Structures are given as structure tokens and as C-alpha cells.
A = this chain, B = another copy of it.
Amino acid sequence: MPVRRGLLALLAEEPRHGYQLKSEFERRTGRVWPLNVGQVYTTLDRLERDGLVRPVRSTNGDRNQRTFAITQDGRKEVDAWLSASGSQAAPPRDELFVKVLLAAIGDRKAALRLIAAQRSALLSQLQGRRRAQQAASDDLAAELVHDALAVRIEADLRWLDHCEARLRPKR
């Protein structure tokens, strides 16, 4: 529930209203994670239902803004989330993993073909990524996001190499 918690983390900084949350969230995620505003409002409703945020009178004249502030419970949640380990040994519920694994334990030849195809796809993605990265060299958020993606693609490539080596007949 990265959206829900992300919004809560933003509210831990200061009270905000829905539209602000959307803008801020998108700004900080380098504009690669467009958020439908509607989702923000429903998420806010759920957070309020769970007692993690509460509506407050907007300080400067409530035109038609519903401003929300985090509660104590909410702050506890955020702290717990932030100090929790990244994915805490959570297995990779990931498309690439499922694809390769299901094939690998089934038909080895098909698996090797699949791995080759995925590798070339990832390589071309990586190149496109590098170009986009240079273009956005003035935006810290975008830069970090692009780098995260690049690093992850490289990891996937390494994993594919390992799988291939492990599946090769000669052994």
C-alpha cells in the first residue's frame, strides 16, 4: 500500500488537502507515478476512517478545501513504516520472476529462449533509460527515480545471467 502510506508520510510533514497531496506526491516521485486525484480522496477517506488523519479547518479561509492533519496513531504508523525493513524478506511477487521461474522448472529450452528475449528487452530498456536520465539531470527526484530503475534493470539482468548459467545443460 505504497500510495496510502506515501500520502500519510506527506501528511506527517504538515497538514495538506487532497490536491496538494497529489501534486506533491507526483513531484517527489519524479513525475513517473501519475496519481489520479480521485484516488487521493478515497484514500484520505479510508485514512480518516482508520483514525490516522483528521480533517482540520484550513488556516487561510476554507474556500472549498478540505485540509487533513495526521493524528497520533497516524504518526505511529508512519514511524513504524519508515523504520521497517524495505521488503522484510518478502518474496519477489514480480512479473519477471514468475515468468522465468514457471518456465525454468517446466521446459528448460523454452526457459532459455525466454531468458534471452527478456535480456535483450531489458538491455534496450536500459539504454533508453540512460538517455532519459541525462535529459532530467536538473530534477533531483526524476534523477533518483531513473537511477533506481536502471539499478533494478541491471539486477534483473544479473539474475537472468545466473538463471541461464544454472539451466545450461553442460554442467
A interface, CB within 8 angstroms of B: 2, 5-6, 9-10, 13, 25, 27-30, 32-33, 81-89, 91-107, 114, 117-118, 121-122, 124-125, 128-129, 140-141, 143-145, 147-149, 151-156, 158-159, 162-163, 166
Contact = CB atoms under 8 A, between A and B. Distances in A.
B101 A145 contact: yes
Q: Which of A13, A124, A148 has the most CB of B within 10 A?
A: A148
A143 to B, nearest CB: 7
Nearest to A25: B102
Per CB-CB distance, the 3 closest pairs between chain A and chain B, nearest first, are A155-B155, A85-B121, A32-B91
SS class of chain A's interface: helix, strand, loop or mixed?
helix
B86 A96 contact: yes
A123 to B, nearest CB: 10
Contacts of A95: 2, 5, 86-87
A140 B166 contact: yes
A99 B85 contact: no
Total identical chains: 2
18 contacts: A2-B94, A13-B107, A28-B102, A33-B91, A33-B93, A85-B118, A85-B121, A89-B125, A89-B149, A94-B148, A97-B148, A104-B144, A140-B166, A144-B162, A144-B166, A147-B163, A152-B152, A155-B155
B151 A159 contact: yes
Given A9-B99, A101-B28, A93 B2 contact: yes
A140 to B, nearest CB: 7
A120 B147 CA distance: 21
A106 B28 contact: yes
